[in-house]
């Protein structure tokens, strides 16, 4: 056994006397550095050639010895290497969760004379289009790290020989997703394939994409195409597996997925290992740094230096220049422009004219969600002004229809499916005119709610009516609309930003996302609001214990409440992971205390099903799912701590209302949230990081049990001072009046 920088390890399988024969050889052993420190990756260096291994494999007996429980994290590892003729040194390195590599073993080796020479490495000129974006994104992620350090990380990863694994008989199967690329939605990746065993029953299939979080996959689903290849394979008709794994926020690339099968005799086998490159299609992604010739030049110079250090030839000068120009063009087109902080124009030119107005409010749906509630409160305030009238148009029905109707605002639902399914602007406009037959001449202003309602701006332009476009999103247009619209329609969304009379943002961070569309001086930044008087009256009139009994919750429990539509963007899977991480610790820290993780906003679907399945499989009896509700104030009043786990938000009203209810807040620090809450007013964490979320929840619970309400009180004072509806709503009304006058 050896020890290095706190790592305990042993290489138990290797060639005798470290004399390698020609061809591949296996190394195997174990490595451990404590229960809260673990290996996220492993590689061997044969002189200057890196080989990636498979860390985190079950090591029965040893895992229990180190952890006093079964893993994960697992201590075992294997690496396959193929030393070249003349190689003389082998080194083993381990990667920790912070991304640092530590050498834990080295030895002199000899290699058989008939081994092949070191393979020829493709030159740098053939790799720039992959290496440069990787280096630039890594620089955005770790801006204080030296360029040379980052370049070495990127180049060594590109040179590393990956080790993948397929099932060995009597297992048979295929991993179908991921392959070379793993597509991520809000920190989760789909895992699909099929697996069967000739002689034993498969009890569970689990997957790991990091060292700790092992996800149980749903197995035994129908599969009808296996019989044509394996006609005599038992269990082939129900061999499909499917599920998700969570990837850590700082996941290295290439990443490693391991899939295990547990048999009915208790044996656990590695059946698949797949290296893949993570690609984000939704959720927080590491962006390219802002467009800069200097940044590009520094990245190129760093890559050139790293290539020399790794023995990577540059290639012919003409080829290097050609690929560098291509990489430069791609960077120039994809990199965000530097934000030029131009002062916004005044909110209104003359305060608007207090005349009667007829307004058509267009909202993307009528669900119990933040954006529909936002526009309902604004529409209700506008309608309360003398002589004003408001009608509502939506392409999707929902429970908010009754809320608008009860407030005296008629609602019309239209079917936009045909228009949104078109593949050209001309077809879109034609289908839109067919779908929406409302006479727009009777209105003075079209008020569109959310970016999804961009089509309402086009209707307003066609009818020569002024329009307001309220944008609550913080995702770039092309990525946001990729699953919704044909790419040919993306320019129509961008055109709506340019042609709306005013585009209104409630968060500066959201405005910056769309800054490149703001050349017409029509962007405005106005704060959202919170109805403090109504909240205080509600809190005074309702007893916490009574509300808990009303909703079937324990009056004596400590409730951590997450409010919001249960969907991937809201990150409830990370909330569930934090509950799992804390399960044992909270039991021992607060013996006899019942602590529950409550999610309000359940709607039927695969995502909710997967959350329920995870909670059941991990025996999380303290997790509660409650349906969407129009009685949302009930849940603020009955909560002890509010938790927001969103990957993307603009200016979420749930946090304004939580602060007004004097709730301690744990939240991700995305987009406009940091404009709303300061670090001394809430516990703020990065999105998708279950470990930091768990630590923040622990801190909030400690404050709760000690009676420390200082953060909650500071948040309440700040929110009431800056976002009271008596100050904010009149400003939105004035903007609507001014816009209506821009005919």
Q: How far is CA 109 from CA 14, 77, 99, 161, in A?
A: 11, 20, 28, 19
Q: Per-residue b/e over 202-221, b at no fewer than 16 CB within 10 Å?
A: beebbbbbbbbbbbbbebee
What phi, psi does 671 have (nearest 5°)? 50, -125
Q: CA 662, CA 544: separation in Å to the nearest integer?
A: 13
Torsion of CA 143, 186, 239, 200, to 10 degrees: 60
Render pLDDT for 231-283 as a digit per residue (tens, 0 to 9): 889 988 999 999 888 886 566 778 899 999 999 998 999 999 999 988 877 76
Contacts of 538 (CB under 8 A, 6+ apart): 633, 637
> What does the alpha-carbon distance between residue 596 and residue 586 come to, in Å, rounded to a whole number?
11
Tell me if 336 sits within 8 A of 291, measured CB to CB.
Answer: yes
Cα–Cα distance for residue pair 493/458, rounded to 1 Å: 9
SS3 content of the chain, % helix, strand, coil (to 5): 35, 25, 40
What is the average pLDDT score of the chain?
A: 89
pLDDT (0 to 100) of residue 256:
93
What 3 state SS string does 311-345 have?
CCCCCCHHHHHHHHHHHHHHHHHHCCCCCCCCCCC
Neighbouring CB atoms inside 10 A of 724's CB total 17
From CA 72, how far away is CA 664, in angstroms rounded?
Answer: 32
What is the distance of C-alpha 369 from the center of its chain?
A: 19
Neighbour count for residue 619 (Cβ, 10 Å) = 10
Tokens of 63: 């895992």
Determine if residue 68 is left, alpha or beta; phi over 0 gives left, psi from -120 to 50 gives alpha, anything else beta: left
Whether the bond into 527 is cis, omega within 30 of 0: no
Tell me if 712 sits within 8 A of 665, measured CB to CB. Answer: yes
3-state secondary structure of 562: strand
Q: Measured between alpha carbons, how far is 501 from 352 in angstroms, rounded to an integer?
A: 14
pLDDT of residue 630: 83
- Concatenating the DSSP letter of every residue in 503-549 gives EEES-HHHHHHTGGG-TTS-EEE----B-HHHHHHHHHH--HHHHHH
Domains of the chain: 1-119 (2.60.40.650), 121-338 (2.60.40.650), 358-529+735-740 (3.40.50.2000), 532-723 (3.40.50.2000)
- CA proximity to 518, closest of 504, 493, 498, 492: 498
Question: Which neighbouring-strand residues pair with 363?
Answer: 449
Residues 6+ apart with CB under 8 A from 98: 250
pLDDT at 337: 60
- Helices 128-141 and 147-159 cross at an angle (nearest 10°) of 130
Contact 668, 685 (CB under 8 A): yes
Note the pLDDT of residue 568: 85
Radius of gyration of the chain (CA): 29
Q: Measure the CA–CA gap between 712 and 664, rounded to whole angstroms.
A: 5
638: closest CA among 667, 661, 665? 661
DSSP strand pairing (268-282 vs 181-185)? parallel
Beta strands in 98-170 (DSSP E): 101-108, 110-111
Spans of the chain, pLDDT less than 50: 341-342, 344, 348-352
**What is the DSSP code (8-state) at residue 9?**
E
> Residue 28: which H helix or E strand, with range?
strand 25-32
Two tokens at 278?
């993570």
How far is C-alpha 117 from the chain's CA centre? Answer: 44
Report pLDDT for 350.
40
The predicted structure's pLDDT at residue 362: 96
pLDDT confidence of residue 412: 95
Query: What is residue 470's three-state secondary structure?
Result: strand
């Amino acid at each position: 056994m050896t020890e290095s920088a706190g790592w305990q390890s042993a290489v138990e399988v290797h060639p005798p006397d470290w004399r390698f024969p020609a061809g591949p050889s296996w190394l195997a052993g174990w490595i451990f550095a404590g229960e809260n420190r673990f290996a996220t990756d492993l590689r061997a260096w044969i002189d200057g050639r890196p080989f990636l291994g498979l860390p985190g494999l079950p090591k029965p007996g040893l895992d229990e010895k180190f952890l006093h429980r079964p893993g994960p994290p697992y201590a075992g590892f294997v690496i396959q290497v193929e030393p070249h003729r003349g190689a003389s040194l082998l080194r083993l390195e381990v990667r920790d969760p912070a991304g640092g590599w530590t050498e834990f073993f080295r030895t002199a080796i000899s290699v058989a004379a008939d081994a092949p020479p070191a393979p020829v490495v493709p030159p740098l000129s053939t790799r720039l289009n992959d290496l440069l974006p990787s280096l630039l994104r890594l620089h955005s992620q770790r801006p204080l790290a030296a360029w040379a350090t980052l370049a070495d990380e990127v180049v060594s990863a590109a040179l590393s020989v990956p080790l993948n694994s397929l099932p060995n008989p009597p297992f048979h199967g295929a991993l179908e997703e991921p392959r070379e690329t793993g597509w991520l939605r809000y920190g989760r990746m789909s895992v699909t394939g099929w697996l069967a065993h000739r002689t034993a029953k498969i009890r569970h299939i689990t997957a790991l994409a990091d060292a700790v979080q092992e996800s149980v996959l749903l197995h035994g689903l129908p599969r009808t195409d296996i019989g044509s290849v394996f006609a005599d394979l038992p269990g082939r008709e129900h061999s499909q597996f499917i599920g998700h794994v969570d990837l850590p926020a700082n996941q290295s690339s290439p990443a490693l997925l391991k899939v295990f099968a547990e048999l009915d005799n208790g044996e656990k086998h590695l059946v698949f290992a797949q290296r893949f490159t993570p690609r984000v299609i939704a959720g927080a992604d590491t962006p390219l740094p802002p467009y800069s010739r200097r940044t590009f030049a520094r990245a190129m110079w760093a890559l050139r230096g790293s290539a020399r250090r790794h023995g990577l030839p540059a290639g012919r000068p003409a080829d290097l220049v050609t690929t560098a120009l291509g990489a430069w063009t791609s960077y120039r087109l994809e990199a965000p422009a530097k934000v030029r902080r131009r002062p916004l124009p005044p909110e209104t030119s003359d305060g608007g004219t207090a005349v009667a107005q007829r307004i058509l409010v267009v909202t993307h749906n009528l669900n119990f969600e933040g954006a529909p509630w936002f526009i309902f409160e604004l529409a209700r305030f506008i309608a309360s002004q003398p002589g004003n009238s408001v009608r509502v148009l939506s392409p999707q029905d929902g429970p908010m229809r009754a809320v608008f109707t009860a407030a005296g605002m008629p609602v019309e639902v239209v079917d936009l499916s045909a228009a949104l399914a078109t593949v050209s602007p001309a077809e879109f406009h034609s289908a839109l005119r067919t779908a929406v037959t409302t006479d727009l001449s009777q209105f003075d202003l079209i008020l569109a709610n959310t970016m999804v309602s961009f089509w309402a701006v086009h209707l307003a332009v066609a009818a020569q009516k002024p329009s307001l476009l309220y944008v609550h999103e913080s995702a770039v247009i092309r990525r946001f609309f990729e699953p919704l619209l044909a790419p040919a329609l993306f320019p129509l969304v961008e055109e709506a930003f340019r042609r709306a009379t005013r585009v209104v943002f409630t968060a500066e961070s959201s405005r910056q996302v769309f800054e490149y569309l703001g050349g017409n001086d029509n962007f405005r930044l106005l704060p959202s609001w919170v109805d403090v008087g109504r909240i205080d009256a509600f809190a005074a009139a309702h007893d916490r214990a009574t509300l808990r009994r009303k909703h079937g919750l324990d009056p004596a429990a400590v409730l951590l409440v997450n409010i919001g539509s249960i969907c991937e963007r809201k990150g409830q899977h990370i909330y569930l992971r934090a509950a799992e991480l804390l399960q044992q610790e909270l039991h021992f820290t607060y013996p006899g205390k019942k602590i529950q993780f409550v999610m309000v906003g359940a709607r039927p679907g695969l995502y909710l099903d997967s959350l329920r399945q995870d909670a059941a499989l991990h025996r999380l009896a303290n997790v509660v799912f409650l349906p969407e509700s129009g009685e949302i104030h009930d849940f603020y009043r009955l909560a002890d701590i509010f938790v927001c786990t969103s990957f993307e938000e603009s200016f979420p009203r749930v946090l304004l209302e939580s602060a007004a209810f004097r709730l301690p807040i744990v939240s991700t620090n995305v987009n406009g949230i940091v404009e709303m809450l300061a670090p001394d007013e809430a516990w703020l964490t990065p999105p998708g990081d279950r470990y930091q979320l768990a630590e923040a929840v622990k801190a909030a619970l400690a404050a709760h049990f000690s009676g420390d309400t200082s953060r909650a009180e500071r948040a309440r004072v700040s929110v009431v001072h800056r976002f009271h509806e008596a100050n904010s709503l009149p400003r939105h009304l004035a903007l609507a009046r001014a816009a209506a006058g821009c005919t």
